[in-house]
């Protein structure tokens, strides 16, 4: 029996409780963060909101690592990897996401970030030699078509003005930063390190980078006094970062970068559901068709026997 035939008869790992439960938990939490982020950029410069978020998340992640009894010694290669993850994920990705939401509706930014599955699969193939199956390609094409319909619906329902092109560029750069981070942390060096230890140092480096970027582009620290702002920041830091990133990065190692990125498709649907409840989001036939296509594509891709891993 060929290797491909053997992989086709293997049980899909996604449907194991140890995988699907954290997959859905991450999607539920991240699906809610898009709504919370909108309250973080109203009166505080986006860069400082990102900095405050990870200034809270970083010590919490170190506490988690220590409480779990994980060594914080990464070695030179590990520290360099943590630096790369910190700069791309916890600085680049989030700074561009927050800036994108200054020019685009949160729904459109969520849809664009949902396309993460494409660069994730491609980069994983190039850098980690993870295969891409035909079924994964078909499922991805269906999901992308669904995401495109959702994007068209959003553009029609919430006509955009101002720096639309700039916002789109910011969202695309954010997506690429996240994709690079997703893939490189799953290399051989990353796999040899405790996840929470790698993330602790990555968040520390990311926070230092965030503060530098904020001070450079937004001036001295802006410290808001609004309690709701800090409640939102704490939610994004603890649940949206400390709880979710160890789970999500572990999913990447279990499923492969391509399949794990389908978490973003579920996030979009959840984000739109929350928007329906709290922001008056109006569902149209186009939006329903888009959500349905995205879901079908998700199922098709996740049913592939040999994931891009």
Q: Are 47 and 210 in contact (CB under 8 A)?
A: yes
Residues 6+ apart with CB under 8 A from 154: 105, 107, 108, 111
Q: In the prediction, which pLDDT does 157 show?
A: 66
Average pLDDT over residues 3-32: 69
- In terms of Cβ atoms closer than 10 Å to its own Cβ (0-12, 13-18, 19+), residue 73 is exposed
The string of pLDDT tens digits covering residues 71-100 is 999 999 999 999 999 999 999 999 999 998
- Cα dihedral value 168, 174, 176, 178, nearest 10: -150
Could you tell me the pTM of the whole model? 0.83
Q: Where are the domains of the chain?
A: 34-302
Distance of alpha carbon 52 from alpha carbon 214, whole angstroms: 10
The mean of the pLDDT values for the chain is 85
pLDDT of 268 > 50? The answer is: yes
Average pLDDT over residues 102-129: 80
Q: How would DSSP label each residue in the chain?
A: --HHHHHHHSPPGGGSHHHHHHHHHHHHHHHHHHHHHTTTSSSS-HHHHHHHHHHHHHHHHHHHHHHTT-----HHHHHHHHHHHIIIIIIIIHHHHHHHTTTS-HHHHHHHHGGGHHHHHHHHHHHH-----HHHHHHHHHHHHHHHHHHHHHHHHS---SSHHHHHHHHHHHHHHHHHHHHHTTSHHHHTS-HHHHHHHHHHHHHHHHHHHHHHHH-S------HHHHHHHHHHHIIIIIIHHHHHHHHHHHH-HHHHTTHHHHHHHHHHHHHHHHS-PPP-HHHHHHHHHHHHHHHHHHT-SS---
Average pLDDT over residues 189-200: 94
pLDDT of 217 > 50? The answer is: yes
């Amino acid at each position: 029996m060929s290797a491909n035939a053997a992989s086709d008869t293997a049980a899909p790992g996604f449907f194991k409780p140890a995988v699907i439960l954290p997959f859905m938990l991450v999607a539920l939490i991240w699906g809610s963060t898009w709504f919370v982020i909108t309250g973080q950029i109203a009166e505080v410069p986006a860069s400082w909101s990102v900095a405050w978020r990870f200034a809270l998340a970083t010590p919490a992640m170190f506490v988690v690592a220590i409480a779990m009894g994980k060594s914080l010694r990464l070695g030179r290669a590990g520290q360099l990897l943590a630096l790369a993850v910190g700069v791309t994920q916890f600085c680049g990705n989030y700074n561009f996401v927050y800036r994108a939401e200054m020019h685009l509706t949160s729904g459109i930014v969520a849809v664009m970030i949902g396309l993460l599955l494409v660069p994730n699969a491609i980069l994983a193939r190039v850098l980690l030699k993870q295969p891409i199956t035909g079924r994964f390609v078909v499922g991805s094409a269906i999901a992308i078509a669904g995401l495109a319909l959702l994007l068209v619906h959003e553009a029609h329902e919430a006509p955009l003005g101002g720096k639309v092109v700039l916002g789109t560029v910011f969202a695309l750069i954010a997506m690429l930063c996240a994709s690079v981070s997703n893939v490189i942390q799953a290399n051989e060096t990353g796999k040899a390190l405790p996840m929470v230890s790698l993330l602790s140092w990555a968040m520390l480096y990311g926070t230092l980078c965030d503060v530098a970027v904020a001070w450079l582009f937004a001036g001295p620290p802006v410290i808001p006094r609004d309690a709701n702002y800090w409640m939102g920041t704490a939610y994004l830091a603890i649940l949206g970062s400390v709880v979710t990133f160890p789970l999500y990065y572990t999913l990447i190692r279990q499923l492969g970068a391509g399949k794990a990125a389908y978490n973003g498709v579920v996030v979009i649907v959840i984000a739109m559901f929350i928007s329906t409840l709290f922001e008056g989001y109006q569902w149209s036939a186009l939006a329903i068709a888009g959500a349905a296509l995205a879901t079908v594509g998700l199922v098709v891709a996740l049913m592939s026997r040999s994931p891009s891993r």
